[in-house]
Structure 1
Amino acid sequence: MQTDPEMHEWRIEPREYVRQEARRGRRHAYASLDPARTALIVIDMVPFFVEANPYVRGIVPNIGRIAEALRTAGGLVAWVLPANEAPLGRVSGEFYGPVVSQTFAATGGEGPPRSRVWHAFDVRPDDLVVEKTAYSAFFPGRCVLPELLAERAIDTVVITGALTNVCCESSARDAATAGLRVLMVADANAARRDRDHNATLHTIYRSFGDVRPTNEVLDLIG
């Protein structure tokens, strides 16, 4: 039985803010963004994950707010879905065991991709909807998203979705390695526990991108 939506108690350690302020003279890496060159990346917001996790249900409104604001400002929204294959490819069965591997291979659901996004979202015709065959949406050869963003001269990606410490973190790391400006939204990503969520926020903020809450992202867009 589903429980009510919940929100993570997210935080960045004060000492990490101090470290970054000493390095670059400011708290946040990216003080501005160009909406026309920015894409909201919404990862794995499909029934398999949303129905099972109250933290994932809790971020739905914030993702919707960012999507609407970015579209209005001329930016792009990209919905990334799990493809119907296990994310570790040929070693998935050995690594997870056959039953779990088959379960993971079915997380994306059935039907046309646009119909598989969680029903509460407004998926517009101009939005991108793509599948990934790995945890990361930016790993070469495992998702068409990087090429589609490059065609649109996107230089900044706003990472949201589930799970914070698996597909979202993997995507953020690879996007940063590819030279994109990465912004992870602290209250628009969800994991299974606060400590898992916050460990990823710390890692991303320290080494791969910026971390901000929804209201600050909306300010940057607006």
Structure 2
Amino acid sequence: MNRFPALNPKRAAIIVVDMQSAFVGEQALFPNVHALEIVPAINRIVSNARRAGAAICWSRHSVVDHGRARQPDWQRFESSLSSQSAAHLHPQASGHRLYEGLDVANEDLVFDKYRFSCFVNAAIDLDGWLRERGVEDIFVAGTISNCCCESTARDAAMRDYRVRFLSDATAALTDEEHAAALLNAAAVIGEVITTDAAIQQFSEAADPAI
């Protein structure tokens, strides 16, 4: 559906969605084995993109008790996932932290978000932050493919960013849900590519002779 021009790494950003201790790792409170499996792919694209001059952004899904970021009461009934996860995704909770095996650098952007999409009701104006840096191309990685990753990718496309959804650096709870998210991404959001293909794009941008 989309034909993107050649990549300019300095106008690109990697958005890694919600790779937090509550979801990733052997001790995760809400374990997702597939999220742990994509950590090497995420670290590869992040390190290559950072070296090429791209912006690296890490979101943390957050639950707060007060203010405009608080979820509505109808989402917080006792048996809901929102209520069950609240204590573990509070900004001071250990589950809120990014998984320790990720390649997070001091210069990266780390921010909290309070809804599925990184572009809606987050602690920062991500769209404004990206535009200040001239970002035009966004690569989406992280978890869960068919929820926060897809929501972020869709909202990025609706803001006219060129979106690449990394098929092997995103993860859902099941293969079927992951495949559905990739289908949606390819059909109406942007381009679905592998981590290797994304790294190749950064390499070709750094050396046009390749």
TM over 0.5, shorter chain? yes
Give the ranges of 4+ consecutive aligned residues of structure 1 lying more than 6 Å apart after TM superposition. none
**TM-superposed deviation, 1:121:** 1.2
Higher alpha-carbon deviation: 115-124 or 169-178: 115-124
Q: Does 1:41 align with 2:15?
A: yes
Instruction: Map Cα deviations across residues 37-79 of structure 1 (whole Å, 9 max, x no partner).
Output: 1110000000111130110000000000000000110111101
Taking a change above 3 Å as real, the CA distance of residues 106 and 35 of structure 1, as seen in their structure-2 partners, is farther
Relative to its length, the structure with more helix (as a share) is 1
**TM-superposed deviation, 1:125:** 1.1
User: Given the alignment, which residue of 47, 52, 77 partners 1:97?
Assistant: 77
TM-score, normalised by the number of residues in structure 1: 0.79
**TM-superposed deviation, 1:146:** 1.6
Kindly provide the amino acid, as one letter, of the partner of residue 29 in structure 1. Answer: R
Aligned to 1:203: 184
Aligned to 1:60: 39
Is the 1:109–1:116 contact (alpha carbons within 8 Å) kept by the matching residues of 2?
no
User: Given the alignment, which residue of 95, 98, 111 partners 1:130?
Assistant: 111
Output the CA distance in 2 between the equivalents of 1:36 and 1:205: 24
User: Given the alignment, which residue of 131, 137, 141 partners 1:156?
Assistant: 137
Kindly provide the amino acid, as one letter, of the partner of residue 40 in structure 1. Answer: I
Aligned to 1:32: 6
Q: Does 1:74 align with 2:53?
A: yes
TM-score, normalised by the number of residues in structure 2: 0.84
Aligned to 1:214: 195
Output the CA distance in 2 between the equivalents of 1:214 and 1:163: 17
Kindly provide the amino acid, as one letter, of the partner of residue 98 in structure 1. Answer: E
The SS at the match of 1:135 is: coil
Instruction: Map Cα deviations across residues 132-165 of structure 1 (whole Å, 9 max, x no partner).
Output: 11100012x4342222111111111100000000
Task: Structure 1: give runs of 5+ residues left out of the alignment.
Answer: 1-19, 21-27
Aligned length: 193
Taking a change above 3 Å as real, the CA distance of residues 150 and 125 of structure 1, as seen in their structure-2 partners, is same
**TM-superposed deviation, 1:175:** 0.5
Kindly provide the amino acid, as one letter, of the partner of residue 194 in structure 1. Answer: D
Aligned to 2:154: 173
Output the CA distance in 2 between the equivalents of 1:190 and 1:41: 14
Output the CA distance in 1 between the equivalents of 2:122 and 2:76: 19
Q: What is the Cα-based RMSD across aligned positions, in Å?
A: 2.3
Task: Structure 2: give runs of 5+ residues left out of the alignment.
Answer: 204-210
Identity %: 32
**TM-superposed deviation, 1:32:** 2.9
Instruction: Map Cα deviations across residues 171-190 of structure 1 (whole Å, 9 max, x no partner).
Output: 00100001111100000000
